[in-house]
Amino acid sequence: MEDVLSLATAEASTAIGAEDERSRFVPVQLLAELTEKAKQPSPSPLPDRLPWHSIKQLPELFQPRGLNGTDEKHVQDLKRGLEVSKELEPVLVAWIGPDAYLIDGHHRMLAYQLARWGEPVPVAPFTGTVDEAVLAAGEANSRAKLPMSTRERMNYGWRLVLMGKLYTKVMIVQAAGVSDRQVALMRRAAKDLGSDAFSYREWWQAQQTARGISTEPFTDDEEQARLDALANDWADRLAKTFSTKLSQNPEVAAMALSHYFGRNLKQLVRHLSEHVGFDEDEGEDDIPDF
């Protein structure tokens, strides 16, 4: 009985410690401040153009890519676009009280800044609540012409998990573009790490640490979620290095893989056969038998 009581006391203490850390988590603090500020009146009617320097930015809350998620080449491309089109697509802003906060369009805003843009920039209003604006930022980046990398999506999902019960699994899946299995894995890691979870801004670091302290083996779904994330990350790296060269030149890609894998090439072919779709008139006999 004493062991049971001790375990329950320890779990309760861990939960309290995690809630204390969550209350000090910067995104949670910012969300609380803006929720209170939202009680103040906003302009009416809402303007469709604003000076770029008047639009407030809180990347800790509304930038899913993280503080270091800027793609410099994309910014330069946008900056050059300003020289041609004279303005970019409207940035998404949320009116919170008297101020406009940037929800989507961080690269465009940086391009305006670097171009020393002197005219008001076009804006589109977001009309939801503050906590909905956080999700909208992720959804907008998932659909953007410059989509988030796997690493950025995972880190954003991890950030939403750390913000507590405010966001359901379905909300996180839609906003971050990660699988429900991945969210379950993140929630398990947050539980295993307790208050220490807030020390990790990178999901992969939190995952590795949690896996080292957990006393329970991964379930099949959790292991598959880990492998899916790793595969997507490698796919992102291939795309960044080769662009479309591999997909447009399968013969050369096959030769390159042959050189790379060497004696392990047969194992690769076996695993690839699991991901190849066949026409109805094809069957397993068409797959080379190694």
**CA distance readout (Å), 96 to 24, 58, 123, 168, 276:** 22, 12, 14, 23, 49
Beta bridge partners, 126, equal: 94
Q: What is the mean pLDDT of residues 35-51?
A: 95
Q: Which of 78, 220, 221, 199 is nearest to 210 (CA)?
A: 199
Rounded to whole angstroms, the maximal C-alpha distance in the chain is 75
C-alpha–C-alpha distance, residues 110 and 96, integer Å: 22
The pLDDT confidence band at residue 124, using thresholds 50, 70 and 90, is: very high
Distances 183 to 88, 168, 178, 218 between C-alpha atoms, Å = 35, 10, 7, 14
- Residues 64-98 pLDDT 10s: 887 777 888 788 888 888 877 678 899 999 999 99
- What domains are defined for the chain? 38-146 (3.90.1530.10), 244-286 (no CATH)
Residue 16's pLDDT is what?
66
**Which SS3 state, helix, strand or coil, does residue 94 take?**
strand
Q: Picking from 35-39, 193-197, 262-266, which range would have the lowest pLDDT averaged per residue? A: 262-266
pLDDT at position 165 is 86
- pLDDT of 72 reads 82
pLDDT single digits (tens) 253-280: 888 888 788 778 888 888 888 776 544 4
pLDDT score, position 156: 93
Q: What is the mean pLDDT of residues 228-248?
A: 79
Q: Which region, left, alpha or beta, applies to residue 261 given φ > 0 means left and ψ of -120 to 50 means alpha?
A: alpha
What local confidence, expressed as pLDDT, does residue 6 receive?
Answer: 55
Q: 0.85 exceeded by the pTM?
A: no
Which residues, 6 or more positions from 198, have their beta carbon under 8 angstroms from its beta carbon? Answer: 21, 22, 24, 25, 162
Strand partners, 274: none
CB atoms under 10 Å from CB of 230, counted, come to 12
